[in-house]
Amino acid sequence: MSDAHSRLRLVRAGIDTYQQPVIYMHRDCHVCRSEGFTALTRVLARSGDREVVATLNVVVDDRLELDVAALSESAWTLLQPGSEAWAVFSHPEPPASAPALRAKVFGQRLGEADFLALMRDTVSNRLSDIELTAFVTACAGDRLDKEETVALTKAMLAVGERIDWGGGAVLDKHCVGGLPGNRTTPIVVAIVAAAGHRIPKTSSRAITSPAGTADAMEVMAPVALDLDTMRRVVEREGGCIVWGGNVRLSPADDVLIRIERPLDFDSDGQLVASVLSKKAAAGSTHVLIDIPIGPTAKVRSSAAAAFLEARLLATAQALGLDLSVLLTDGLQPVGYGIGPALEARDVLSVLRNDAAAPRDLRSRALDLAGALLDAAPGAAPGNGRTLACMLLDSSAALRKFLAICEAQGGFTEPGVAQHTRPVLANRTGQIQRIDNRRLAKVAKLAGAPGSATAGIDSRVRIGDSIQAGEPLFHVHAQSPGELEYAFEYASAHPDIFEIGVTQ
């Protein structure tokens, strides 16, 4: 059969399917009929010298012509067809990693070659979302041992870009997450870079939280830099804070995160592979990991933290990374704001040494920056925090942060939401406990992170006394509807702040 029987003209559907390439065809088109394509079939599209494997969605009415295939934004970007372009469609070959996937689903251990095949098929879209979900599920919990964790990390590293900064130390830090408002990264990067070290920081956007570091940083400066621009920023200023998704340092991890997001699975092995593959790919040599511990944080006990720490250290050693871990308090949020602009405001207030800056954010950032400076080659142990404090107090860190922002495309002051409303305490007493997860949900219902200025502002902490009718926090939103939605949820869950009666 000639290619003419399997060709369709390409148009842009204008539909965002995130990272999943999708192709739309009419059910009565000659390609669907001749190839036997049905809804959710995996199809291979070739146009010029490029190809993409995508999921088929079938159109049943007349909104799509019979000789046309429409491409989602993701598929269009990957295929990059020109104007008046055509593509030839066929069934793709079965993924090479299918045997490895099946073995893992049935509980067998995988080796390095197996994980490499799986990650290659992941980044080339050879695995459907159903197959990727099966893989993520088969690896969840404690189903990856130490050797498999190392193998998965190396495989994720092998299928992405890697940056070589030449000789010398390259510092980095990461927080495993689960703590609202814990926006220490911009402060730590500014301090460490001001101390003369290289710290190229790639950060994620929010996955299940009201803000990721990239979301908060984007309020102040561009973060969607390509690899060459990122390198120029670091060579000029010593540090950067960019969105990792645009530099493809661990593209397999970006795909797996998309699958993990709605599942909300906790897996130490996958977490370690995710974090360390990106650190190694970014060219880091010395890495500090922040693990907050608390009943409503991601890591809920000291025992769980110890297990994760051991897995991180073993994997880092196998990759040749010098890694240290800081176990921190995860009982309550950090800073005042939860949401991109509100967290950015807190970061700037600490860097500017404002008297009203959140002391917990300042102290936590100094602890992390000090530990990272202590880990640098040639550092005198124990002097890091003193140096960090001096760089912050002298405004050297602020100057460096603003210089990094300018190098990334220019600094912008955070905006303010159009609507605010207080959530009031329903009794008098002392704050006994704060539910991080539910508090973060209020911020998300208010519109964060999609709306950069949305979120919450909370000034009370565990141990504080409060009177009935005083504000526990303020909801910030861009629309009255989102404001009301978040307020209703907060009002329905008064135990977000557990208030004990003062004796």
Query: Looking at 61, 129, 226, 266, which residue is catalytic?
Result: 266
**Any bridge partners for residue 293, and if so which?**
299, 329
Q: How many CB atoms lie within 10 A of CB 493?
A: 15
Question: How many residues comprise the chain?
Answer: 503
Supply angle C-alpha 165, 169, 175, rounded to 5.
95
Instruction: Report the C-alpha gap between 58 and 44 in whole angstroms.
Output: 15
DSSP secondary structure of 251-316: HHHHHHHHHHHHHT--BHHHHHHHHHHHHHHTT-SEEEEEEEE-TTSSB-SHHHHHHHHHHHHHHH
Pairing mode of beta strands 86-90, 322-329: unpaired
Q: Are 499 and 466 in contact (CB under 8 A)?
A: yes
Instruction: Report the C-alpha gap between 470 and 452 in whole angstroms.
Output: 27
DSSP secondary structure of 352-382: TT-TTS-HHHHHHHHHHHHHHHHHSTT--TT
Largest CA distance in the chain: 86
**What single-letter DSSP state applies at residue 141?**
B
Residue type, 286: H
Q: Are 233 and 225 in contact (CB under 8 A)?
A: yes
266 is catalytic: yes
Task: Please name which of 244, 169, 230 lies closest in space to residue 404, comparing C-alpha atoms.
Answer: 230
40: left (phi over 0), alpha (psi -120 to 50) or beta: left
Residue type, 61: D
**What single-letter DSSP state applies at residue 127?**
S
Instruction: Report the C-alpha gap between 185 and 369 in whole angstroms.
Output: 9
Give catalytic residue positions: 266
